[in-house]
Chain A
Amino acid sequence: MPSTALTAAHPLKDVAASDSSLRRFLHGLPGVDAVGLEGRAASLGTRSIKTTAKAYAIDLAISMVDLTTLEGADTPGKVRALGAKAVNPDPTDRTAPSTAAVCVYPDMVPVAKEAVAGSGVKVASVATAFPAGRAPIGVKLADVREAVAAGADEIDMVIDRGAFLAGRYLKVYDEITAVKEACGTSARLKVIFETGELSTYDNIRRASWLGMLAGADFIKTSTGKVAVNATPANTLLMLEAVRDFRAQTGIQVGVKPAGGIRTSKDAVKFLVLVNETAGEDWLDNHWFRFGASSLLNDLLMQRQKLATGRYSGPDYVTVD
Chain B
Amino acid sequence: MSDRLTVLKTYKLYVGGKFPRSESGRVYEVTDAKGRWLANAPLSSRKDARDAVVAARKAFGAWSGATAYNRGQVLYRVAEMLEGRRDQFVREVADAEGLSKSRSAAVVDATIDRWVWYAGWTDKIAQVVGGGNPVAGPFFNLSSPEPTGVVAVLAPQESSFLGLVSVLAPVIATGNTAVVVASEKSPLPALSLAEVLATSDVPGGVVNVLSGRTAEIATPLASHQDVNAIDLAGADEELAKDLEIAAADNLKRVLRPQPVDYAETPGIDRMTAFLETKTVWHPTGSLGASGSSY
Contacts and interface: CB of A to CB of B under 8 A. Distances in A.
A314 interface: yes
Nearest to B49: A311
A304 B225 CA distance: 10
Contacts of A162: none
Nearest to B220: A311
A312 B223 contact: no
B223 A310 contact: yes
Contacts of A56: none
A313 interface: yes
Given A315-B225, A315-B226, A316-B225, A310 B249 contact: yes
A137 B50 CA distance: 51
A11 interface: no
B96 interface: no
Interface residues of B, number: 10
27 contacts: A304-B225, A309-B223, A310-B220, A310-B223, A310-B224, A310-B225, A310-B249, A311-B50, A311-B53, A311-B220, A311-B223, A311-B224, A311-B225, A311-B226, A312-B225, A312-B226, A313-B53, A313-B57, A313-B224, A313-B225, A313-B226, A313-B227, A314-B57, A314-B226, A315-B225, A315-B226, A316-B225
Nearest to B246: A310
A313 B223 CA distance: 11
Nearest to A316: B225
Contacts of A312: 225-226
A270 to B, nearest CB: 21
Contacts, number: 27
B244 to A, nearest CB: 15
Most A CB within 10 A of own CB, among B224, B227, B249? B224
B208 to A, nearest CB: 15
A307 to B, nearest CB: 12
Interface of A: 304, 309-316
A311 B45 CA distance: 14
A304 B223 CA distance: 13
A313 B249 CA distance: 13
A315 B149 CA distance: 12
A316 B227 CA distance: 12
Ranked 6 nearest A-B pairs via Cβ:
A313-B226, A310-B223, A313-B225, A311-B224, A312-B225, A311-B50
A314 B226 CA distance: 7
Contacts of A311: 50, 53, 220, 223-226
A294 to B, nearest CB: 14
Nearest to B223: A310
Contacts of A316: 225
A310 B227 CA distance: 11
Interface in B193-226: 220, 223-226
Contacts of B220: 310-311
Nearest to B221: A311
Contacts of A310: 220, 223-225, 249
Contacts of A315: 225-226
Nearest to A312: B225
Contacts of B226: 311-315
Given A311-B226, A313-B226, 4 more contacts: A310-B223, A311-B50, A313-B225, A314-B226
Nearest to B249: A310
Contacts of A314: 57, 226
A171 to B, nearest CB: 46
Which of A311, A312, A314, A315 gathers most chain B CB within 10 Å? A311
Nearest to B50: A311
A142 B212 CA distance: 63
Nearest to A314: B226
Nearest to A309: B223
Interface in B209-256: 220, 223-227, 249
Interface in B100-152: none
A311 B221 CA distance: 8
Greatest chain A CB density within 10 A among B220, B226, B227, B249 is at: B226
Contacts of A309: 223
A311 B246 CA distance: 12
A304 B226 CA distance: 13
B144 to A, nearest CB: 22
A313 B53 CA distance: 10
Nearest to A311: B224
A239 to B, nearest CB: 29
Nearest to B225: A313
A309 B226 CA distance: 14
